[in-house]
Structure 1
Amino acid sequence: MGEGIGKTVRDVMHQGAQCIGEHESLRRASEIMRDLGVGSLPICGNDDRLKGIITDRDIVIRCCAEGKDIDEVTAGELARGLVWVEARSSVEEALEKLEQNQIKRLPVIDNHRIVGMISESDLAKELPDNKLAEFVHRVYAPA
């Protein structure tokens, strides 16, 4: 623990990230999540630029529980959280963004394109115990 201080986001992120198109259905988003074994997807526009992020929870709460049709609602309609981190940013900067926004995943951008994803667990592996405890408290504290 503790080796992460001084590392960049690129050093600890998951390389690559499959986007869901903003005009694709939530059914397609859920199929991609299932196939990749992930709980969130970045949403990209026709210009290949990040438009937001969608989670499995978003699909359940904001579509299924509302009685909407998973085949008709698009990922773009539920896009939220246009928060990202630059690949060259420090691990500490990524932690600050997660804490400030009380989120658990961040798209990683390089040269205006998504190049990966970084999660709280990726960052947690890089923290000394005292920083990890502080981080967990801030991210999971009630808003």
Structure 2
Amino acid sequence: MHQGCKCVGEHENLRTAARMMRDMGVGALPICGDDDRLKGILTDRDIVVKCCAEGKDLERTTAGELAHGLVWVDADTSVEEALSKMEQHQIKRLPVIENHRIIGMISEADLAKELPDSKLAEFVHRIYARA
């Protein structure tokens, strides 16, 4: 897990979100509300497909408008349960929550570093087989 996630605010525009992604070298950001609670995940692909390709304005479209399908795990969740949730929802990034606050994100890169090769191959097959 990557600890200490930085959120994009739900009222921030997509240009700000894209710049944050560029500056942090990431392809996804958690979206947090004014209450500092997780509202969703925004990916670089979301920005391209749901904003740019649709002719929407990066300055006027907010991160909150693209918040969707909130899926997360508790900090004490097992690796197997996290993998299962990622497979079930066909997602490659998974927020980790503790005491109602986001504390990190699990990504494919994290899994690649931590899982044995056989387990990693099984995960990749399960996630990408239906893609």
TM-score by length of structure 2 reads: 0.96
Q: Tell me, in whole angstroms, the C-alpha distance in 2 between the residues paired with 1:124 and 1:102.
A: 17
With a CA cutoff of 8 Å and minimum separation of 6, indicate the structure with the bigger relative contact order.
1
- Per-residue CA deviations over 1:31-56 (Å, capped at 9, x if unaligned) read 10011000000000111000000000
Pick the aligned partner of 2:70 from 82, 86, 89.
82
CA distance in 2: counterparts of 1:109 and 1:123, whole angstroms = 18
- 3-state secondary structure, aligned to 2:94: strand
SS in 2 for 1:43: strand
Q: Which runs of 5+ in 1 are unaligned?
A: 1-12
**How far apart are the structure 2 equivalents of 1:134 and 1:21?**
35
CA shift for structure 1 position 128: 2.2
Match of 2:103 in 1: 115
Amino acid at match of 2:18: S
- Equivalents in 2 of 1:85, 1:91: separation in Å? 10
Give the superposition deviation at 1:124. 2.6
User: Which secondary structure state, in structure 1, belongs to the residue aligned with residue 81 of structure 2?
Assistant: helix
Distance 1:27 1:129 in 2: 38
Identity of aligned residues (%): 76
| Corresponding letter in the other structure for 2:51 | C
Q: Does 1:100 align with 2:107?
A: no
SS of structure 2 residue aligned to 1:28: helix
1:58 aligned partner, one-letter code: D
Aligned to 1:125, what secondary structure does the other structure show? helix
In structure 2, the partner of 1:66 is 54
State the partner residue of 1:20: 8
Distance in 1 between the 2:87 and 2:19 partners? 29
SS in 1 for 2:53: helix
Where 1:42 maps in the other structure, the secondary structure is: strand
Root mean square deviation, CA, Å: 1.0
Distance 1:31 1:131 in 2: 34
Matched pairs, number? 131
2:48 is the counterpart of 1:57: no
Q: TM-score, normalising length from structure 1? A: 0.88
For residues 85 and 123 of structure 1, the distance between their equivalents in structure 2, rounded to whole angstroms, comes to: 15
> What is the DSSP-based 3-state SS (H/G/I as helix, E as strand, rest coil) of the residue aligned with 2:97?
strand
Quote the offset at 1:81 in angstroms: 2.5
Match for residue 140 of structure 1? 128
Moved over 4 A (4+): none
Which residue of the other structure, out of 18, 30, 49, is the alignment partner of 1:42? 30
